[in-house]
Amino acid sequence: MDKYQQSQKNKLFKTPAHDPYCLPRVEGSAICSQCGAAYQAGNWTWKIPENTVIHDAQSMICPACRRISDSKPAGTLTLSGSFLLEHLNEIINLIKNTEEQEKAEHALERLISLTDSDGALIVTTTGIHLANRLGHAIEAAFKGHADYQYNDDEYGLSVSWTRDE
C-alpha cells in the first residue's frame, strides 16, 4: 500500500495514523525504566530477539507508561446496563484475560484503570487496539450492543457497550 492509499484508508476509517505518544520516533534502542519494555527496530517489545545485543540503549519512559502517569488513555470503554451489574465479575475477568493476551503480544497495549461510575464501568487503556479487542470480546461473550467511535482530532477510540435484561 502506498502513501496515498494509506491516507485514503485512514480517512475512510477516521483512524489517526500515529499515536502522538509514540512520537518523535526514538533513534536506536531504548529500555523503559518503569516497565522494562525494550525498543528495538522501531517497536516496543517485552522480549529482545535472541542473539540481539542492545548497544547503548537509552533509558526512557515508554509511551504506555507515559499515558498511565499522565492519565491520558487512548481507549475508553463505557459498559452499562442491568446485565453488567449481574455479571460484573465475569466481565471483569474477561477484560483482564483479554488484556493479558494483548499485552503479551503488544507491549504498549495495557489497561490503565477500571472505575465504577453511577452503575457504569469505565475501562481505560493505553492503546486503541486493546480497547477495540475488549469491545469485540465482550460482544462475543455477552452479546449486547457495542458502538465504536474513533476520535476525529485526537488519537483515540471510545467504545460504548450496553446490555439490558
Instruction: Enter the C-alpha cell of residue 87.
Output: 455479571
Which of 123, 103, 99 lies closest to 113, judged by CA?
123
Q: Taking contact as CB under 5 A, which single stretch among the options 2-10, 32-40, 74-82, 129-137 is the one that binds Zn ion?
A: 32-40
Site for Zn ion in 95-154 (CB under 5 A): none
Torsion 60-112-78-148 (CA) sign: positive
Contact segment (CB under 5 A) with Zn ion among 36-44, 49-57, 83-91, 111-119 equals 36-44
- Regarding 34 and contact with Zn ion (CB under 5 A), the answer is yes
Contact with Zn ion (CB under 5 A) among 30, 38, 62, 111: 62
Q: Give the closest residue to 115 by CA, choosing from 66, 149, 64, 80.
A: 80
Q: Identify the residue among 30, 31, 38, 65 touching Zn ion (CB under 5 A).
A: 65
Q: Based on CB atoms, which residue is closest to Zn ion, 29 or 151?
A: 29
Give the residues lining the site for Zn ion (CB under 5 A).
32, 34-35, 37, 62, 65
